[in-house]
């Protein structure tokens, strides 16, 4: 099976040196990629944060770069209590509430950062490009909140 030899950040292009062969019993029931497909993985894009030693699965990689034309990735900084206490992960679907009477916006988590010393946390979210300015402004003004609406 194919596993990661080193960590890969979300959006990174997979190189052969990032991968290693591991042996697993054939009856694990896990969604895995056989080592014979390793050449097909090179050049694909990490669909989320991939950790060293992690088994590569079909949904670990994608052919699509993020953001695609017409999309944007926006960093949202949110206060403690303005995001679910359960961890948000790449590909989670969220609703971003902007406050001030603005309609909420749908987004997809690209990456979730760690809390800083003040307890604020940054999330990179994928949104339609038309929503990027409103979300960035809400983040700067401290009026963004995130709700989980679906797991990716």
Residue-level pLDDT at 21: 94
CB 51 within 8 A of CB 4: yes
**Can you tell me the distance from the alpha carbon of 105 to that of 114, in angstroms, rounded to the nearest whole number?**
23
The whole-number pLDDT of residue 12 equals 87
> So what's the pLDDT on residue 152?
62
Q: What would the pLDDT profile of 49-103 be if each residue is shown by its tens digit?
A: 889 999 998 888 888 777 888 999 999 999 888 999 888 888 899 999 998 888 9
Q: Mean pLDDT across the stretch 122-142? A: 93
What are the structure tokens assigned to 86, written together?
A: 């359960």
> What's the pLDDT at 5?
95
Strand ranges inside the chain, DSSP E: 2-4, 19-21, 45-46, 61-62, 71-78, 93-97, 105-115, 121-128, 145-150
For the chain, percent of residues with pLDDT exceeding 70:
99
Ramachandran quadrant class, 133 (left: phi over 0; alpha: psi -120 to 50; beta: rest): alpha
pLDDT tens digits, 1-14: 999 999 998 888 99
Cβ atoms of 96 and 139 closer than 8 Å: no
pLDDT at 27 > cutoff 90: no
Q: What is the pTM of this model?
A: 0.68
């Amino acid at each position: 099976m194919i596993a990661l030899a080193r960590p890969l950040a979300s959006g990174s292009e997979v190189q052969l040196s990032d991968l290693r062969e591991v042996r697993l019993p054939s009856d694990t029931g896990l969604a895995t990629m056989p080592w014979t497909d390793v050449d097909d993985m090179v050049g694909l894009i990490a669909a989320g944060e991939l950790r060293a030693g992690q088994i590569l699965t079909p949904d670990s990689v994608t052919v699509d770069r993020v953001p695609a034309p017409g999309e944007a990735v926006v960093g949202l900084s949110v206060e403690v209590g303005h995001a679910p206490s359960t961890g948000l992960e790449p590909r989670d679907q969220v609703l971003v509430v902007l406050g001030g009477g603005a309609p909420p916006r749908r987004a997809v988590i690209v990456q979730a950062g760690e809390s800083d010393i003040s307890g604020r946390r940054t999330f990179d979210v994928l949104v339609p490009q038309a929503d990027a300015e409103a979300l960035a402004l809400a983040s700067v003004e401290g009026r963004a909140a995130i709700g989980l609406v679906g797991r990716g």
